[in-house]
Amino acid sequence: MPASLIRHRHPAQRRAVPLLPFAVLAAIGLPYAANAYALGFATTILITAIGVVGFNVLTGWTGLVSLGYAGFFAVGAYTQGVLATRFGWPLLATLPAAAIVAAAVSVLVGAPSLRLRGLYLAITTLAFSAIISHVILLAKPLTGGSRGLSVARPSVLGVPLRSDAAIFWLCAAGLVLAVWLAGNIRRSYLGRAFFAVRDAETAAGVLGVNVIRAKLLAFALSSAITGFAGALFALHQRYLNVENFELLLSIEAVSILIVGGIGSVAGVIAGTVFMVLLPEMARLAVNAIGGPLAEMAGGQEIRGVMYGLVIILFLRFAPGGLIDFWTRGRAWLRRWPRTG
């Protein structure tokens, strides 16, 4: 029997629980302590973490290699923008709609791709992202085409969400919801089925797991959470353009999984903080040094270089990711008084 049907809970999951009160206090107090730039950066981290929590369901738990993250993220973002701006839908309707539309689109992509694996599935989902970009450009009356779409920040139950602090708290609540949902899925039979498909697909089918159903549900759940993150991104940015959803966004999601620890929700959050801050830290360091490299640091190039370099280093020297460092570090500290 595949081990995933029996043991499926990551050991770091329980250890993260005591940190929850500190995380809540930090989320409440950060908007009062941080300037606008730092608060915007923190909001970006929250949105990225939500999206990659969803991406982890498909790639980390089910083992389906996808490069369609940017496409599903764009579907959620434009669903939020179009419904709110063109049709005047309230936020409590647009956020679920963004998740539902992204999930529905993912089933259309996933159904013809069920027999594909590895590189073939990755190329198929990459092609989907390219198609979504072209659809956005062609649907000018709704999306604004190449000129983009301005997204107004709505009100919730009469309370306006115009401030950056309000969007930050909304995204923080969204991350809590995404982590809670992912944790419940992981502990359920469906979560065990995902891991069984990843570890031994043929054996899982023999033991009664409906492999096709599991894969389709993985696509749908993953894309729903990613689409929800895209909707929050639209509210945060207040302006959408097709250039926001290039291939680098999918590469970023893959790199976060590798750096944080594939399959771990806690690893996703740690990897997100690390990978989102990394280009900024590199930019500040290069600017301090000066010279020709300083001109490159402000663009997409430095992000691409850093993501590629970090992926190579982690795959070579730390394939378990940051969560593995955390687990081994805690084990070493428990033994440390007896190892001197």
What are 265-305's pLDDT values in tens digits? 999 999 999 998 887 777 777 666 665 655 655 555 666 67
Mean pLDDT of the 312-326 span: 84
Span 3-246: which CATH code?
1.10.3470
- Has this prediction a pTM greater than 0.85? yes
pLDDT of residue 4: 47
- Which of the two residues, 288 and 182, has the higher pLDDT score? 182
Q: pLDDT, tens digit, for every residue of 60-102?
A: 999 998 999 999 999 999 999 999 999 989 999 999 999 999 9
Mean pLDDT of the 103-115 span: 88
Q: pLDDT, tens digit, for every residue of 41-62?
A: 999 999 999 999 999 999 999 9
Instruction: Flag whether pLDDT at 167 surpasses 60.
Output: yes
What percent of the chain shows pLDDT beyond 90? 54
Cβ atoms of 232 and 99 within 8 Å: the answer is no
pLDDT of residue 21: 66
User: How many Cβ atoms sit within 10 Å of the Cβ of residue 336?
Assistant: 9
Residue 248's pLDDT band (cuts 50, 70, 90): confident
Secondary structure element (H or E) that encloses residue 50, with its range: helix 36-55
User: How many Cβ atoms sit within 10 Å of the Cβ of residue 198?
Assistant: 21
Q: pLDDT, tens digit, for every residue of 206-227?
A: 989 999 999 999 999 999 999 9
Which of 305, 261, 256 is CA-nearest to residue 279?
Answer: 305
Work out whether strand 159-160 and strand 155-156 pair parallel, antiparallel, or are unpaired.
antiparallel
Mean pLDDT of the 242-267 span: 91
Please report, for the chain, the start and end positions of each structural domain, with discontinuous segments joined by +: 3-246
Residue 191's pLDDT band (cuts 50, 70, 90): very high
Residue 3's pLDDT band (cuts 50, 70, 90): very low
Residue labelled with tokens 């096709």: 212
User: How many Cβ atoms sit within 10 Å of the Cβ of residue 318?
Assistant: 14
pLDDT of residue 253: 94
